[in-house]
Structure 1
Amino acid sequence: MGAQTARSLHFFAIGAQRMPLEIVHALAQERAAAEVNGGLGLLDPARAAAIAAAAAGIADGAFDGQFPLSVWQTGSGTQSHMNVNEVIAHLASDALHGGQGMVRPVHPNDEVNLGQSTNDVFPTAMHMAAVARARPLLASLAGLRAALRTQAAAGHGIVKVGRTHLQDATPITFGQEFGGYDAQMALAEAAIRRALPDVHALAIGGTAVGTGLNTHPAFGAQVAAVLARRLDAPFVVADNLFAAMAGHEALVGLHGALRTLAVALNKIACDIRLMGSGPRAGLGELLLPANEPGSSMMPGKVNPTQAEALTMVCAQVMGHDVAIGIAASQGQFELNAYKPLIALNLLDSLRLLADAMAGFQVHCIDGIVVDAGRVQALVGNALVGVTALVPHIGYDRASHLARHAQAQGMPLRQAALELGGISAADYDAWVDLRRMAMP
């Protein structure tokens, strides 16, 4: 264990949360720095190759046990950065010298960290990790959207009671309802994709404060180019390195898009569990998959567990967004010193949403079945058809008719004929629920 790693374990024994391995793996992509420094003639070729090979092993997850540091450390992430540098230096030294002899070992600062500073490397790693985690999130989102569209197609002609203010409203089809859910997801996806180009801009090359002191003028651009090729992402050096290190607006923007996604997902999950409520004393319009026993004491109970898990994730993401906003607002002068918190919460949100959406799709949306009999009973007993009468008998008379039907507990058609003034033929011609849903 290196000296800086040991000191961090002593001075920052805070909580059980460790620096996310995504950040560690991204920091180890500074193998690109060793390759560039070797190509620029700033680092001995053999040492550059040994550093790059050691970093590659870390980036691939071969040494994950060597990174025990708490995420609650210095706000720049220096301890975790040096933890990575010290492990790289140790592995490269062993590779070069077999762990024996008096030949100078690879130095974690002078050689592994050549031309770099935590202040530009750590935010670069944050952006790289976020881009990597965004890929499975977008894949899960695409799968969920496809499942919603499938349900929309299946429910195209199934008319149900619409609801506003949790009260009966004019008819709608399940196809329209699920199509609306897909449109909400499309808006969230577009927001995420709009945010990603700003995250592709990296702080590398800025070193301590953004001036590029002690690094080669071509270093940052060359490292970004290597990372872009290796990781198949359009990474570039940020236009303004001072802003890239002092603020994290790009990550705030990305997480803001995740918050938008969480807001929409929460609404959809709540709708689905309400439509699945019952089976006899609730709405009961949807039959939700019975994935597991719903109760430890009530046999046969089916709970909307996937919706509950998803809504908890959404609440966590919304909380993360508040913390990230506060953290990103607290940069002073040339550095924001809340980077580990931002990284932790952003990566957690990306992973939670990706996993929860995938589970919600496979274990809930894919298996939803409309209870056609229940839906027909509800829509047939509702008073929503009265709205179609307004153009013919006026709002006030239609309102009186609806109140009479409700007070007497009778169907709307029966109330209309009982009060008089509307013939059966007129009622049947004017009140067509399917036409009301699809005018």
Structure 2
Amino acid sequence: MSSHRIEKDSLGEVQVPAEALYGAQTQRALENFPISGLRFPRRFIEALGLIKQAAAVANRDLGLLDPEKAEAIIAAARQVVDGEVDDQFVLDIFQTGSGTSTNMNANEVIANLATEHLGGRRGSKLVHPNDDVNMSQSSNDVIPTAMHIAARMALEAELIPALQRLLAALEAKAEAFDDVLKSGRTHLMDATPVRLGQEFGGYAAQIRNGIRRLREASYELSWLALGGTATGTGINRHPEFPARAIQLISEVTGLEFFEAENHFEAQAAKDGYVMAAGALNTLAVSLMKIVNDIRHLASGPTSGLAEIRLPAIQPGSSIMPGKVNPVLCEAVMMVCARVMGNHLTITVGAQHGNFELNTMMPVMAHAMLESIHILTGACDAFRTRCLEGIEADRERCRELLERNPAIATALNTVIGYDKAAQVAKTAAAQRKSVREVVKEMGLLTDEELDHYLNVRDMTEPGIPGH
């Protein structure tokens, strides 16, 4: 048997591998774009399958598609949704900016599967990839629709749950460390006291806000371009098609989707996508701050802050025995950097909505889904391998706090700012505590110092001693 079959498209004959479920247009794109080896992620392929399934149901119910063909297409699309034929989605991310090649990849795979379901021969087009599988659609509305569906499913099923788990772990640490008094720091310099629990409570608030922003982004992604067809006018589709298809997509995914209020905006602009990428970028900034703080708080063990201890999960050096590094923090930092870069990719891509179509959609989709995926993995790994095992070194926190000259701030209302500044500078220069310097200067009695230098009170709103 030949290792290839001959198929035809509008440009002529093409040799396609005999075993391939895809056809001529996919083969041309495979040969035209041997660029990176990057492929569309699973979520995007799943979304394409959902769209083709919903379209077949809607077209059948509207009397446009033969019921037998429709059932075969629905069954084939389900195989795509379930990941049974992912190896047939062979095209590079860097291709035609509309994603037409990948839409045709899906159409051809589903058409050949449906053809075989009906007893036909692979490549015979008993079920036609354009006329049947792509009925009432265009690549120009399918690809932006898949972008939104895939990103929203990934946000709701993967990243937001991972963030909720991270939030719970941070809140637990905030509660566990609420009694740990320590030096605050501003400009990396000693500042008035805080509680370690307050610091972790701040981290928890960042993640809580991140979840809120992602839920807002998810809503932005609920508006779908499906129904605009080629340029947003809806040519070649039934007036009821988008509402019917989108309703089915909502039912299958368990997420509520809506037809775009303006199809020209939905296909030419990607503002909602940029907004969602911005929420991911903000989350990356939050995570970068959190893990940077944590690795600095754990720095040492002898020449750093060493106020907290991280779990020792692997040797830190190939030459220095016994060294342990904050490797999970570093991994998260690299993920954050990648997400920030992906945000820029999406920002630049969204600028290329020339007239009635954006022409950088594949790379935008890849960047978005990669960001969601790696943020999910980073949050779970950091939580389970680092955060949950963090311990406070209470003795070290107390030791550093006792030498903190900023404690003199609590004396402002008693001895005045200028005197308090003199106390602080003397304490820092002579490596003495504020209490020692005040006593040496004869400014306050022991009883007065006890009253005004209650460190716990300094971590709450109010005027010390009043």
Note whether the superposition's TM-score is higher than 0.5: yes
Alpha-carbon distance change, 393 to 66 in structure 1, aligned in 2, over 3 angstroms: same
Stretches of structure 1 that go unaligned for 5 or more consecutive residues are none
Matches for 1:156-175 after TM superposition, within 5 Å? 156-175=178-197
Mapped contact 2:277–2:343 kept (Cα < 8 A)? yes
Q: Which position in structure 2 is the counterpart of 1:71? A: 93
Which runs of 5 or more structure 2 residues have no equivalent in the other structure? Answer: 1-19, 462-466
Instruction: Provide the C-alpha distance between the structure 2 equivalents of 1:23 and 1:294, rounded to a whole number of angstroms.
Output: 38
Once residues 90 and 186 of structure 1 are traced to their aligned partners in structure 2, the CA distance between those partners, rounded to angstroms, is 47
How far did 1:47 drift? Answer: 0.6
Q: Distance in 1 between the 2:53 and 2:458 partners?
A: 64
Distance 1:103 1:315, change over 3 A: closer
1:26 aligns with 2:47: yes
The residue number in structure 2 matching 1:251 is: 273
Q: What is the aligned length?
A: 438
Q: State the SS of the aligned residue for 1:184.
A: helix
2:372 matched to 1:345? no
Corresponding residue of 1:121: 142
Q: Secondary structure of 2:354's partner?
A: coil
Residue 31 of structure 2 is aligned to residue 10 of structure 1: yes
Letter in 1 for 2:445: S
Match of 2:331 in 1: 309
Q: Tell me if structure 1 keeps the 8 A contact 2:405–2:425.
A: no
Aligned to 2:384: 362
Deviation readout 1:253-292 (Å, 9 max, x if unpaired): 1111111111111101100000000011100001001111
1:435 aligned residue (453, 457, 461): 457
Which has the higher mean CA deviation after the structures are superposed, 372-381 or 282-291? 372-381
Question: Secondary structure of 1:385's match?
Answer: helix
State the Cα distance separating 1:104 from its structure 2 match.
6.2
Partner SS, residue 170 of structure 1 = strand
The equivalent residue for 1:190 is 212
> In 2, are the aligned partners of 1:385 and 1:432 still within 8 Å (CA)?
no
Deviation at 1:207? 0.5
Q: Could you list the per-position Cα deviations for residues 11-51 of structure 1 after superposition, in whole angstroms to 9, with x for gaps in the alignment?
A: 11111211223222211111111111111111111111001
Question: Would you say the 8 A contact 1:85–1:108 is kept in 2?
Answer: yes
Q: Give 1:417's aligned residue.
A: 439
RMSD value over aligned CA atoms? 1.3
Counterparts of 1:406 and 1:186, CA distance in 2? 38
1:332 aligned onto 2:354: yes
Q: Counterparts in 2 of 1:33-432, with a 5 A limit?
A: 33-99=55-121, 105-135=126-156, 136-432=158-454
User: SS state of the match for residue 87, structure 1?
Assistant: helix
Residue identity in the other structure for 1:387? T
Question: CA offsets per residue over residues 38-95 of structure 1, 9 Å max, x none?
Answer: 1111111111100110111011000111111100000000001101111111111111
Distance 1:193 1:103, change over 3 A: closer
Q: 1:98 deviation in Å? A: 5.0
Displacement of 1:431 in angstroms is: 0.9
Change (3 A) 1:15 1:104: closer
Q: Distance in 2 between matches of 1:40 and 1:124?
A: 21
Q: Kindly indicate whether the alpha-carbon contact (under 8 Å) linking 2:29 and 2:95 is maintained by their aligned counterparts in 1.
A: yes
**Matched position secondary structure for 2:355:** coil
- What's the CA shift for 1:423? 1.7
